[in-house]
Amino acid sequence: NAGVMQNPRHLVRRRGQEARLRCSPMKGHSHVYWYRQLPEEGLKFMVYLQKENIIDESGMPKERFSAEFPKEGPSILRIQQVVRGDSAAYFCASSPRQGDNEQFFGPGTRLTVL
Amino acid sequence: GEDVEQSLFLSVREGDSSVINCTYTDSSSTYLYWYKQEPGAGLQLLTYIFSNMDMKQDQRLTVLLNKKDKHLSLRIADTQTGDSAIYFCAESSNDYKLSFGAGTTVTVRA
């Protein structure tokens, strides 16, 4: 059973471009969580999605950031018009149900904005 | 300031015990976690403790919780080279939103 997959592992964008980060949850998991880790800080919750639904996006910046988890395919975190402050590691986690004490994490995508 | 704080580095001799400390601010924390991250890999849950417990032991791992002081520690007995990694403390007051510390890089020296 493959773990949580994230791609790309490293992404470089110039200011103003768009970044798309993909996350494939573990097989059988329908709950996905995105976290962001800024340099020398802890991971910060961004958004919680179930298939086709956003459950909690309280950690998402109000502008330029969006997330989806379609019925088919991976979850996508999209950042439009990236700025240098978006440079961070973005981690995805999944669980089979809400309330599970264990979230299974992917290896992360490291975004660098030039 | 940060909701969860932990020291950034720890160096320990192989065979000794490692103790990683963490403090948190949210008094409504229900669960507290320790995750391990090895190079190039995702975070792996090591253990967690419910807030009404003081201690939890699992093989070489011992978690101590002082709820009054909001202090959590992870002790690794007989530390091995394979224990070299980044260890993250995390807390949650609901059943899905985790707040993490910045991670403690543990280096095991021979």
Among residues A110, A79, A109, the alpha carbon closest in space to that of A16 is found at: A79
pLDDT for A96: 87
For the segment A4-16, the average pLDDT, to the nearest whole number, is 96
pLDDT for A53 beyond 70 = yes
For the segment A13-18, the average pLDDT, to the nearest whole number, is 98
Q: What residue of B is the nearest CA neighbor of A90? A: B42
Among A15-24, A97-106, B2-11, B38-47, where is mean pLDDT lowest? A97-106
Cβ of residue B23 closer than 8 Å to a chain A Cβ? no
Among residues B20, B1, B33, B15, the alpha carbon closest in space to that of B104 is found at: B20
Question: How far does chain B reach from its first CA to its final CA, in angstroms?
Answer: 36
What residues have CB less than 8 Å from B107, skipping those under 6 apart?
B9, B10, B11, B12, B84
Q: What angle do CA B93, A34, B82 make, to 5 degrees?
A: 85
Q: What are A9's two structure tokens?
A: 């592992």
Longest C-alpha distance within chain B, in Å?
Answer: 41
Task: State how far the Cα of A105 lies from the Cα of B62, in Å rounded to an integer.
Answer: 23
Task: State how far the Cα of B55 lies from the Cα of B64, in Å rounded to an integer.
Answer: 5
Question: Per the CB < 8 Å rule, is A35 touching B44?
Answer: no
Cβ of residue A41 closer than 8 Å to a chain B Cβ? yes
pLDDT for A1 beyond 60 = no
For the segment B76-87, the average pLDDT, to the nearest whole number, is 96
For the segment A93-103, the average pLDDT, to the nearest whole number, is 81
pLDDT for A99: 66
pLDDT for A102: 82
pLDDT for B2: 60
What residues have CB less than 8 Å from B97, skipping those under 6 apart?
A45, A48, A56, A58, A59
For the segment B46-66, the average pLDDT, to the nearest whole number, is 93
Spatial strand order in the sheet of B4-6 = B4-6, B18-24, B71-76, B61-66, B55-58
Q: What are B14's two structure tokens?
A: 């192989």
Distance from CA of B100 to the nearest CA of A (A): 5
Distance from CA of B79 to the nearest CA of A (A): 24
B59: left (phi over 0), alpha (psi -120 to 50) or beta: left
Interface-testing mutation among B2, B100, B104, B105, with chain A (most A C-beta atoms within 10 A) = B100
Task: State how far the Cα of B73 lies from the Cα of A98, in Å rounded to an integer.
Answer: 27
Closest Cβ opposite residue B96 in set A41, A43, A48: A48
pLDDT classification of B41: cutoffs 50, 70, 90: confident
